[in-house]
Structure 1
Amino acid sequence: MRAVHPTPSGTPLAIGAKLRSTRLAQSLTIADIATATGLSTGFISRVERDETSPSVTSLVTLCQVLSLPLGTLFEAPENEVIALADAPLINMGGSNAIERLLTPRAESRVQVLRSRLEPGATGGLELYTINCDVEIVHVLSGSLHVRLVTGIVELATGDTMTLAGREPHSWDNVTDGVTEIIWTIVPAAWSGSS
């Protein structure tokens, strides 16, 4: 399998809102920041509106005055949107399943997966475990058999099952139709950020 490398985003880096919210949280005015940095109020205002890009030196100076670690300006946004068509394909080890990662690869708090299970799809003959605290499966359409040590639980469209983390289980689509499910894993069992 050939490695796919990320490409730069065509969207300009928006740092102004983080700078402005940090300034306001400290009850500082643009004039206060201008006095402390030696930068003009007009320049700082344009930076906060993302209308201009500061030099590295100006950006470091702004961050120092605001006691804001420079790296936080470049962290992934908390509200990232991943369209289903753009969600990366992953393989969690089942067969006859198309699985997509709906949360950012670097998100460690939770993972949400969407699976399309063809007739006969299975998580495997052997029960398996996932390194997480809680695993939740929600059936969007179709039905699913969840196999546990204690027996089989049948889930229908709209049903949701919560499993204790690390509980041995597997699953099967025993119908003649496609089943669509959402898996939620807390915390994320793995990070695909590397």
Structure 2
Amino acid sequence: MNIGDKIRRLRIKNSLTQEELADRCELTKGFISQVERDLTSPSIATLVDILEGLGTNLKDFFNETTEEKIVFTKEDAFETDNEELKYILKWIIPNAQKNQMEPILIELESGGNTKEDFPHEGEEFGYVINGSIYLHLGKEKHKVKKDECFYFKANSNHYISNAGKTKARVIWVSTPPSF
């Protein structure tokens, strides 16, 4: 790990000059400059002071996190096929259950429907890409056509069905994850 570079990036992220950081830590601007260029190594006590001045601590500073994946391809998706209910469900973001929301892509054949989901904390959003569907919320039934969307609090039983003659494709996002 390049400690000096990481300190410099944290300082810039916090919108501090070398002099401002030095003042917070009761050090000199020259010393901060030397640390950032890896020309000198601070003692543990001094490093703790610098990190406190940057709003962090030793544990968080040295905790190496992996880069968060931002873009996903079709190869990243996981798919399950329910022939009985006539749908294909694709988890388009792998391991989304660990996130606050879980987007999926559902392809419903004519006459197909998803499994009924029970009330839970959170909200649901869907966008119909192709075809049309019925959104079933408790005893209510709402038709949602291509290029339309739905949004609701998940406080009643809910599922979608395809009463049309063509395949329906829907992006469905649940928070918290429930698929």
Aligned to 1:41: 33
SS in 2 for 1:99: strand
After TM superposition, the score normalised by the length of structure 1 is: 0.59
1:167 pairs with 140, 152, 156, which one? 156
Aligned to 2:56: 68
- Provide the identity percentage: 10
Ranges in structure 2 where 5+ consecutive residues have no aligned partner: none
Aligned to 1:189: 177
Residue correspondences, number: 162
Structure (1 or 2) with the larger CA radius of gyration: 2
Alpha-carbon distance between aligned partners in 1 of 2:90 and 2:65, rounded to the nearest angstrom: 27
What do the CA deviations read for 1:120-157 (whole angstroms, capped 9, x no partner)? 43213xx4225232211111221112223324221110
- In the TM superposition, 1:1-194 aligns within 5 A as 19-24=10-15, 27-29=16-18, 32=22, 35=27, 41=33, 44-45=36-37, 61=48, 63-69=51-57, 70-71=59-60, 74=64, 80-89=69-78, 95-102=86-93, 105=96, 106-108=98-100, 110-124=101-115, 127-129=116-118, 131-186=120-175, 188-190=176-178
What do the CA deviations read for 1:68-111 (whole angstroms, capped 9, x no partner)? 1443764577x852324144426698652132243863322x33
Ranges in structure 1 where 5+ consecutive residues have no aligned partner: 1-13, 47-53
Which one-letter code corresponds to 1:68 in the other structure?
A: T
**Structure 1 stretches of at least 4 aligned residues deviating more than 4 Å after TM superposition:** 14-18, 72-77, 90-95
Alpha-carbon distance between aligned partners in 2 of 1:17 and 1:184, rounded to the nearest angstrom: 39
**Alpha carbon RMSD of aligned pairs, Å?**
4.3
Pick closer, same or farther for the CA change 1:149–1:190 going to 2, 3 Å. closer
SS in 2 for 1:122: coil
